Amino acid sequence: MKVPWRTFAAGRPCYAEEVKEFFNDWWRLLKLIVLSLAVPVVLYLLLLWVGILK
């Protein structure tokens, strides 16, 4: 874990950086799920358009 440049008086790190990393991880996971679902749909539609699937 990266130590942010701002810390509390007790020496604990500021949690803004941790929250930012948390949402960044979930955003990346959401994009991965959406893209992994979109690829087969696009392939299916392409095969329908070409006429291979009916």
Instruction: Summarize the confidence of residues 36-45 as an average pLDDT.
Output: 96
Q: Decide which of 32 and 22 is more confident.
A: 32
Structure tokens that stand for 37 in this block = 């679902």
Residue 46 vs residues 28, 38, 54: alpha-carbon distances, Å: 27, 12, 11
Is the pLDDT at 38 greater than 90? The verdict is: yes
CA 32/CA 34 separation, integer angstroms: 6
